[in-house]
Amino acid sequence: MYIYKWLKKVKLYYFNNYIYKESFILLKYVLKKNILWIIINMKNYKLNNLELQFLNFLLIRRLKGEPINYIIGKCYFLNFKYKIYFDIFIPRQDSEIMVEYIIYLIKINNFKFILDLGTGCGAIAISIAKIFPKIFVMGVDINYLSINLSKYNSFKLNLKNIFFNKSNWFSYFKKKNNKFDIIVSNPPYINKYYNHYNNNLRFESYISLFSNYNGMKDIIYIILNSYYYLNNYGWLIIEHCFTQVNIINFFFNFRGYYNIFNYKDYNNKFRFTVGQKLIN
Ligand SMILES: C[S@@+](CC[C@H](N)C(=O)[O-])C[C@H]1O[C@@H](n2cnc3c(N)ncnc32)[C@H](O)[C@@H]1O
C-alpha cells in the first residue's frame, strides 16, 4: 500500500485531527525518514507488509489511548530531546514556564547549586544543566528506572555538570549538610482517589502522579523539609494543581518562606509557586 493510501484510510476511519497528525509521527518512526521525505514520497513509496503491519499495530496502541511519546520512545522539553519509556512520567509543556523562571533566577543571582526533586526522565534538571554548563545540578527520584534513564539522557547531551541519585525525597542527604540555591520539584499531586482508569493517565506510573491527603502529602513534605536544604536567599519552586494554590500558600507561610508568588501556565491557571528562604 502506498503511504498516501494508508494516510487516507486513517483519515477516513479515524476522522480525528490529532490521530491524523500523529500518523505522520508514526510514519517517521517506522520508516526512519523525516516529514519532508514522507510528503515528497507519499505517492510513490509502497509500504511493505512488515511496515504496514507495524504501522497498524502502533496506530491501534495510540487509538487505545497510549501516549504517542511512549510509542515512539521519545519526547521534547525546551527543545531538547529525551528518551522516555513506560513507567516514567512524560514531561509536560506547562513545566517549561517553571524552568524559564529558574533560568531567570540563576541569571540574576549567579546561583550555583540546583536540586530537582522527583526528576523523572531528568528533563528539568538536564535543561538547566545544559543551559548553564558551569553550575552543579542534581536530580533525585525514588524510581531507580528514572535514575538510569536520566543518566542516559544527560549522557546523550554530553553533560558533565549533572548527577542523579536514587532518593526518597531527601533521604539521600541524611546529614543535611548539602545546601542548594534552588530546589525545584514537580511532585505527584493528584488526589489518589481520582479515577484515572478512563483516561490516558492510566499509562503513566502511579507513583509519579498520585499522593495522599487530596494530593497534598508530598507537596507539604517538600515545603516543610526543603527549608533545611536551602542556602540563605535560596528558592523553593513547586509545581501543583491550580486548586491547591491556597493551601500551598498557607504552608509556604507556615514554614517561614518569604516572597511567595504563584505563577500561571499556558492555560492561565495557577501552576507553580515560589518562595524564598531569608534569614536576617
Ligand atoms: C510528576 S513526576 C515529575 C517528573 C519530572 N520532574 C518532570 O516534570 O517531568 C513526579 C516524579 O516524582 C517521583 N517521586 C514520587 N515519589 C517520590 C519520592 N518519595 N521521592 C523521590 N521521588 C519521588 C516519581 O517517580 C516521578 O518521577
Please give the CATH superfamily to which domain 77-276 belongs: Vaccinia Virus protein VP39 (3.40.50.150)
In this structure, the residue with its CA closest to atom 17 of ligand 1 is 142
C-alpha 118 to ligand 1 mean position (Å): 3
Q: Which three cell numbers stand for residue 211?
A: 499522593
List the residue whose alpha carbon is closest to atom 11 of ligand 1. 118
pLDDT attached to residue 64: 87
pLDDT-flagged residues of the chain (< 70): 15-17, 176, 196-198, 280
Domain with CATH 3.40.50.150 in the chain: 77-276
Q: What is the pLDDT of residues 59-94, one digit of tens each?
A: 999 988 899 999 999 999 998 999 999 889 999 999
DSSP 63: H
Concatenated DSSP letters for 9-27? Answer: HHHHHS--HHHHHHHHHHH
Q: Round to whole Å and give the CA distance between 85 and 109.
A: 36
Across the chain, mean pLDDT equals 94
| E strand spans, the chain | 74-77, 80-83, 113-117, 136-141, 162-166, 180-185, 190-191, 210-211, 230-239, 258-264, 270-276
Residue 47: predicted pLDDT: 95
How wide is the angle at C-alpha 103 spanned by C-alphas 97 and 104, nearest 5°?
A: 95
Furthest CA-CA distance within the chain: 72
* 97 Cβ below 6 A of ligand 1: no
- 261-271 pLDDT tens trace: 999 999 999 99
**Nearest atom of ligand 1 to the alpha carbon of 118:** 12
